[in-house]
Amino acid sequence: MPTKDEIMTALKQVFDPEIGVNIVDLGLIRGVDLDETGRRVHIDLTLTSPGCPMGPQMIRDVRAELARLPGIDQVDVDIVWSPPWHPSMMSDVAKDELGYDEELGLGYTQ
């Protein structure tokens, strides 16, 4: 049975195709739950915007990546919108990669 840490590590292999950063470092993973058997995983995922055209692709990528983990039989993904995503939710790695500076109030400065 995979742990939540192993699931998060696997999810770092899923990238937002438009931004080029993994969904974990972007702050798009809002929840990871395993059922009592550990064979079914539920992921709460948000997107950078409600109109994000890459949502369906990222959902497919999440399912495919987690299905590779030993013992996982089912992966459910729900899109959630609360709280709305903001660049401040990114990891420091993603902020550095994208040139985001919270102190200066700058967005993507790549």
Q: What is the pLDDT of residues 49-78, one digit of tens each?
A: 998 899 999 999 999 999 999 999 999 999
Asked whether the bond before 83 is cis by omega within 30 degrees of 0, the reply is: yes
> What pTM does this model have?
0.89
Domains of the chain as residue ranges with CATH? 4-98 (3.30.300.130)
Tell me the C-alpha to C-alpha distance, in Å, between residue 101 and each of 65, 84, 90. 31, 19, 11
pLDDT per residue as tens digits for the range 35-46:
988 899 999 999
Alpha helices per DSSP H over 43-108: 55-67, 92-98
Residue 88 half-sphere exposure toward CB, CA atoms < 13 A: 6
